[in-house]
Amino acid sequence: MNLIDRPRRNRKNPAIRSLVRETTLSVSNLIQPLFLWEKEWSEPIESMPGIMRLSPKDLLQECENLLRWGISAIALFPYIEPKYKDSRGSHGLNPDNILLTAIQAIKKAYPDLIVIADIALDPFTDHGHDGIMNAQGRILNDPTVEMLCKMAIVSAQAGADIVAPSDMMDGRVGAIREALDQAEFEEVSIMSYAAKYASAYYGPFRDAVGSKKDKKFPLDKKTYQMDPSNIREALREIFLDIQEGSDILIIKPAGAYLDVIRAVRDQVLLPLAAYQVSGEYAQICAAARLGWLDYEPIRDESLLAIRRAGADMILTYFAHEIAEANFKTL
């Protein structure tokens, strides 16, 4: 064959493939989500193999490990005991709650570790929704935003470097930015869940934070989280968050929404994060345990695809094991 162009020349050995590789995945791209509770022991989360609800002591040990392995940022998600929950999520403002005391302890012990505080009511409400609900079951936007602003301030006071509103209420980014600035927390960043879909992939997460309900009465968050059918709506939400002062944008979930990540990346300049959510993690773990998939290659390929789509950073439950493995090979 008289061929001038032979693309296989650039694939003939590992060295060449490395030189021409367009997308890379490194530990510096990864953020580790961590679950915590106030009990003195840690507990495995059955639906998320290898992931724990961490005790305060074990949480600090995990932070030390992550820093040593090269992870520079964590996102904290609390499991709140049912006795503290009410319809308004009031415990979210208690300075002694497990999230705020954990932030204080982490920043005291490891000031260089970036702490991202989840700003949402669902761990704190007895109904499991991300907002304040009226007697008719409607999620009230503006009263919820008022509560979120207060949560952002107490998180900043505890030492959070970044607050991450994950609720999808209208106008909350601008309100939180104004509240933080008025409280003299101008340096605290906002990482907004700008396009968070009403996804079926969140089940293990809701189990982990204790907001999962009976299967007969599943949580329906479709009035505030986005319709999985829509991409133009995602761009609308993205541009609103930019206008309101977001510093970093999150697309959630990641793997099933690579087209959304790419569409956003092509139109915005802000740093872009994607959240490889609990259901994505659980699927890979389950298939690998059954021998249907090769664990490490599929894990790494799933993350590389998210990077290739345009994400600058990835929140993933695989972060700690990838960082540990990388550290051990140095």
CA-based nearest residue to 23, from 261, 319, 307, 302: 307
Q: H-type helices in the chain, by residue range?
A: 14-20, 56-69, 98-109, 141-158, 172-182, 203-209, 232-244, 258-265, 278-289, 295-309, 319-329
| Neighbouring-strand partners of residue 74 | 32, 115
Catalytic annotation on 83? no
DSSP state letter for 114: E
Q: Catalytic one among 85, 107, 221, 252?
A: 252
Catalytic annotation on 252? yes
Checking DSSP bridges between strand 43-44 and strand 30-36, what pairing results, if any? Answer: unpaired
The count of C-alpha atoms lying within 13 angstroms of the C-alpha of 170, restricted to the half-sphere facing its C-beta, is 6
Q: Catalytic one among 150, 196, 215, 216?
A: 196
The structure tokens listed for 224 are: 């505030």
The structure tokens listed for 249 are: 């944008």
Catalytic annotation, residues? 196, 252
